[in-house]
Chain A
Amino acid sequence: EDQVTQSPEALRLQEGESSSLNCSYTVSGLRGLFWYRQDPGKGPEFLFTLYSAGEEKEKERLKATLTKKESFLHITAPKPEDSATYLCAYSGAGSYQLTFGKGTKLSVIP
């Protein structure tokens, strides 16, 4: 069965303390792996799309990587404004719909 699992469910970091969020996925054919940021009371904000194993993308303090079974969102020297829920999702081959994980709630403490 196709599925996606994110860990940890919640992560509390000190400002400047780098870490990684994990997204494990099982899909028969991957069209794309997506990362989103969601702030309370708002819709998800698109961050990255990864298409093939070995691909990496960066944006400010965030870097997303992809293997055949997992994706990581690395956060370097986070700031309090990085506090949010980070969602991982995939779309399977031949499909445009997204299947989401439950997310990782990140809190960055000053």
Chain B
Amino acid sequence: SAVISQKPSRDICQRGTSLTIQCQVDSQVTMMFWYRQQPGQSLTLIATANQGSEATYESGFVIDKFPISRPNLTFSTLTVSNMSPEDSSIYLCSVPGQGGGYTFGSGTRLTVV
């Protein structure tokens, strides 16, 4: 299965600022997914990022707040913009893996103060 390097692993940010999270995959993948895991909650899909096209956002998530880049088949970034304490969560990227499953990055734990 693919190996994902996600960074930063954690950050503490001031409200009103932005943070960009990076995911690097060790193989080429068409689809990449970005999830949010709020404290005590399940993982929620933010958007699907395909190389060469605009990301597709799920209900409740908008591009102005969570812009995504997908410049090639091994890399993607998610930016959390104009942050508020409600954005404090773990953010994860994911790609399709072997055996029908999906591989996840190690996550970025974001705290907004």
Tell me the A residues contacting B by CB distance below 8 Å. Answer: 32, 34, 36, 41-49, 51, 87, 89, 96-103
Contacts and interface: CB of A to CB of B under 8 A. Distances in A.
A87 B97 contact: no
B63 to A, nearest CB: 17
Interface in B84-98: 92, 94, 96-97
B60 interface: no
Contacts of A97: 33, 45, 48, 58
Interface string B57-88: 01000000000000000000000000000000
Interface secondary structure of B, over-half rule: strand
Interface in B39-60: 40-45, 48, 58
B52 to A, nearest CB: 17
B31 A96 contact: yes
A87 B102 CA distance: 13
> What 9 A-B pairs are tightest by C-beta distance, nearest first?
A43-B104, A46-B101, A49-B100, A100-B42, A100-B43, A102-B42, A44-B104, A43-B107, A43-B106
Given A96-B96, A97-B33, A103-B42, A43 B105 contact: yes
Contacts of A46: 1, 97, 99, 101-104
B2 to A, nearest CB: 11
A102 B103 contact: no
Contacts of A102: 40-42
